[in-house]
Structure 1
């Protein structure tokens, strides 16, 4: 699977990414699956075209499908910021991969938003990337402004 023709953005991200000022979910997904961490400042040091290119990498759980995301990111950061991303060990069994229960953080965000949490069946029907996005948006205890738009876009709002 190669690069998509255009950056992978959900509708709710178009405004919130402010033309790639902020890190899109597709890039966050790939950072997490490769065990890489960059700061917002590092992201913003990259030229816009590089940020758009990173958002075109596949969002598939299989890191072997497109192993060049990490290489591209390293090269871009070395070239434009004279630094490298930080490494971490990715979580082996993140809650978003489970299809037999809705993660507590997602249920909590839904409660904060005044929405019903997705049913276990609806959660299981979401593709892994969408489950990742909802879990990522739910990682903090306070309400996330993108959570309701994401739930609606994914058809997960009760």
Structure 2
């Protein structure tokens, strides 16, 4: 599988990620699946075309499908920021991969936002990347400004 024709952005990300000042969810997903971490400041050190390129990598959960994201990121970070990404061990069984129950963080965010919790069936029907996005947006105890727009975009809220 090759690069996508255009950067992958959800509608709710366009305002915050259109100029790639902030990391799109597709880049966050690939960082997490490869066990890599960079700061926002490091992201912003990368030239705009490099940030766009990183957002064109596929968002498939199988790292064997597109193994070059990590190599591209390392080269870009060395060249433009004179640093390397930090390594961490990815969670072997993250909550977003479970289709039988809505993760606790999503439940909490729904409560904060005052919107109904999706049923387990609706949760299971979501594409894995969308489940990842909602879990990622729900990882902190305070409300996330992108949570409700994401829920609406994914058909889980009115």
TM-score interval, smaller chain: over 0.9
Residue 155 of structure 1 corresponds to 155
What stretches of structure 2 of length at least 5 have no aligned partner? none
Residue 47 of structure 1 corresponds to 47
Please give the alpha-carbon distance, in whole angstroms, between the structure 1 residues aligned to 2:8 and 2:27.
Answer: 9
Residue 87 of structure 1 corresponds to 87
Please give the alpha-carbon distance, in whole angstroms, between the structure 2 residues aligned to 1:130 and 1:123.
Answer: 9
Residue 2 of structure 1 corresponds to 2
Aligned-residue CA RMSD (Å): 0.7
Cα distance change, pair 6–77 in 1 and its aligned pair in 2 (3 A): same
Runs of 4+ in 1 over 3 A off after TM superposition: none
Residue 63 of structure 1 corresponds to 63
Please give the alpha-carbon distance, in whole angstroms, between the structure 2 residues aligned to 1:10 and 1:63.
Answer: 22
- Number of residues of Structure 1 aligned to a counterpart in Structure 2: 158
Residue 16 of structure 1: CA displacement?
1.7
String of CA shifts for 1:71-106, please: whole Å, max 9, x gaps: 000000000011100000000000000000000100
Residue 18 of structure 1: CA displacement?
4.8
Question: Within 5 A, what are the aligned runs for 1:105-120?
Answer: 105-120=105-120
Residue 11 of structure 2 corresponds to 11
Please give the alpha-carbon distance, in whole angstroms, between the structure 2 residues aligned to 1:98 and 1:16.
Answer: 29
What stretches of structure 1 of length at least 5 have no aligned partner? none
For normalisation by structure 1, the TM-score amounts to 0.99
